[in-house]
């Protein structure tokens, strides 16, 4: 198992920054980082993690929505949404950067994502339901967007105040 990385919590400014595309020459760095990100995600435990959440402003995402006993990790380099359904779905979301905070988010039920695999090949994948929500949630992180941004201002502020209080108590 690879080493884990510290996960950044809101209000870290890195979580609000736009990540840079992975470029030629980044292959070794991205391969090492993705292994550490997967280890971090599994240890948390979570089902998705974006590089900005571990302090790296790179367009890199790891996802695994499979059962614990049959891991099926996916590493997406430079992912981009290329299509989405008109049909919407509401799903409760949480985030490793906002521990113990959950909210109902409405997103397209189905999406198509174009990305590069670790071997550099260009790929596309479609997701619906949980996979669709996870892909959108993680790609949002690459653009400095958090799931709480989809909630009403009142609900968002209430949740962020609660998180700040919990993190302060944890630090004391």
Does a structural domain hold residue 6? no
Does a structural domain hold residue 5? no
Give tens-digit pLDDT for 37-94. Answer: 999 999 999 999 999 999 999 999 999 999 989 999 999 999 999 999 999 999 999 9
Q: What is the pTM of this model?
A: 0.96
Given a cut of 70, is residue 120 above it in pLDDT? yes
Q: Report d(CA 75, CA 36) in Å as an integer.
A: 12
Given a cut of 90, is residue 152 above it in pLDDT? yes
SS3 percent helix, strand, coil of the chain, rounded to 5, is: 35, 30, 35
Q: Which pLDDT score, from 0 to 100, does residue 171 have?
A: 85
Q: Which pLDDT score, from 0 to 100, does residue 10 have?
A: 95
Q: Report d(CA 101, CA 93) in Å as an integer.
A: 8
Does a structural domain hold residue 117? yes
CB-CB contact of 131 with 102 (8 Å): no
Does a structural domain hold residue 159? yes
Does a structural domain hold residue 161? yes
Does a structural domain hold residue 48? yes
Confidence band for 135, pLDDT divided at 50, 70 and 90? very high
Structural domains counted in the chain: 1
Range of the domain at 19: 13-171
Is 124 an active-site residue?
A: no
By percentage, how much of the chain surpasses pLDDT 70? 99
Does a structural domain hold residue 3? no
Q: Which pLDDT score, from 0 to 100, does residue 161 have?
A: 95
Which of 87, 124, 138, 172 is labelled catalytic? 138
Does a structural domain hold residue 1? no
User: Mean pLDDT score of the chain, rounded to an integer?
Assistant: 96
Give tens-digit pLDDT for 7-45. Answer: 999 999 999 999 999 999 899 999 999 999 999 999 999
CATH of the domain at 32: 3.90.45.10
Q: Which pLDDT score, from 0 to 100, does residue 1 have?
A: 59
Location of structure tokens 């099926």: 72
């Amino acid at each position: 198992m690879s080493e884990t990385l510290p996960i950044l919590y809101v209000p870290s400014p890195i979580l609000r920054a736009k990540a840079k595309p992975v470029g030629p020459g980044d292959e070794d760095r991205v391969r090492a980082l993705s292994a550490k990100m997967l280890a971090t995600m599994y240890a948390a435990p979570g089902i998705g993690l974006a590089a900005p959440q571990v302090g790296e402003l790179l367009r890199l995402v790891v996802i695994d929505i499979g059962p614990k006993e049959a891991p099926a990790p996916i590493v997406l380099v430079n992912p981009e949404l290329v299509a989405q359904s008109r049909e919407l779905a509401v799903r409760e979301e949480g985030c490793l950067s906002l521990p113990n905070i959950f909210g109902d988010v409405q997103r397209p039920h189905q999406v198509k994502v174009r990305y590069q695999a670790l071997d550099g090949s260009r790929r596309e994948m479609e997701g619906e339901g949980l996979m669709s929500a996870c892909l959108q949630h993680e790609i949002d992180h690459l653009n400095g967007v958090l799931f709480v941004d989809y909630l009403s201002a009142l609900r968002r502020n209430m949740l962020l105040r609660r998180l700040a209080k919990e993190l302060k108590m944890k630090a004391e």
